[in-house]
Chain A
């Protein structure tokens, strides 16, 4: 019974938040990132099990607010196992992520190479997709909000 209430509360929280985690393979993610737009896309690769990823999420939450008047969208790509999608949604809700939530389910040896030859597979990494389709990478965690905001401003 307790479990049922918990499940209900969790579901209610998700619905209230209106968020979903979309599980997809790399080619779907690639098509989404390639969609032409006059906004820049800030794309963060993270996972619930990754300490440094969780540590930098508050900076993204702050950036979501600070850049709400600019043409900037936020996308969070979780590399958690697909069976952990609920955990991803819960963490995203707890931290206050309001952007697109995706869970990438594919062979890392394929998508790590495809995304960038400079990526060794560590996370977090953050990518900015510029309106002209250029990819700008940061392969390290952000240590404070200023580092993230300057990364975004440089590419506005």
Chain B
């Protein structure tokens, strides 16, 4: 019984431990703060640089994660389809390269070249932007729409409904959302849940 009480005490202590994964900070409808992050070409990138954009497809991703890899060509396709109509893709890697050496800045440059990334691939070394957004996994999408004050979150979640096989996708969540934004329609789906690799936050 005494042991049992001890275990209960330990369990309570566990339950009160701080939650290590940040809960989503930006929700649909939130205004976002701009960022200034280093791109793979060494230049700094901010959303404010994109004077002609109507919005953005922000994607937290990385090199090592099988889900990120599975989506690389689909992300390239999204950028090709939507950058020219005002919704460019901006990819951000926030992973701690100490946890995953494959996610270092140097490897980002190699990966982007190898996979033919057409979009900025930014390095969030301080992890502050992932925390600001509440990015939980890779890939994790935030679609923003520009307004006179800045950029508002219109959609968060997954790219589509089949990470394993692009040919079996039934619902393209991101494409549908951007199409509806461009058409000035209300979004059918504003939020989806996804499985992915957890963003590797430093402890």
Contact = CB atoms under 8 A, between A and B. Distances in A.
A150 B7 contact: yes
Contacts of B21: 120, 122, 139-140
B73 to A, nearest CB: 16
A123 interface: yes
A79 B10 CA distance: 30
B198 A50 contact: yes
B193 A109 contact: yes
Interface in B2-30: 4, 7-8, 10-11, 14, 19-21, 23-24
Nearest to A50: B197
Nearest to A142: B14
Interface string B161-203: 1111000001101000000000000000000111111100000
A61 B194 CA distance: 28
Query: Interface majority SS on B: helix, strand, loop or mixed?
Result: loop
A113 B194 CA distance: 10
B91 to A, nearest CB: 19
Interface string A44-80: 0000011110000000000000000000000000010
B194 A108 contact: yes
A33 interface: no
Contacts of A52: 198
Given A51-B99, A112-B195, A82 B8 contact: no
Contact of A81 (B20, B66, B192): B66
Contact of B164 (A49, A82, A121, A150): A82
Task: Give chain A's interface residue range (CB within 8 Å of chain B).
Answer: 20 to 34
Contacts of A110: 161
Contacts of B7: 146, 149-150, 153-154
Interface residues of B, number: 33
B76 interface: no
Contacts of B196: 121
Interface in A120-156: 120-123, 139-140, 146-147, 149-151, 153-154
Contacts of B20: 140
A56 B162 CA distance: 27
A120 B197 contact: no
A83 interface: yes
B10 A120 contact: no
B99 A150 contact: no
B157 interface: yes
A8 interface: no
B137 interface: yes
A107 interface: yes
A152 B39 CA distance: 47
Contact of B193 (A50, A82, A120, A139): A120
16 contacts: A82-B164, A107-B162, A108-B193, A108-B195, A119-B193, A121-B136, A122-B136, A122-B137, A123-B195, A146-B7, A146-B10, A147-B10, A147-B11, A147-B14, A150-B11, A154-B7
Interface of B: 4, 7-8, 10-11, 14, 19-21, 23-24, 65-66, 70, 99, 136-137, 157-158, 161-164, 170-171, 173, 192-198
Interface of A: 49-52, 79, 81-83, 105, 107-110, 112-113, 119-123, 139-140, 146-147, 149-151, 153-154
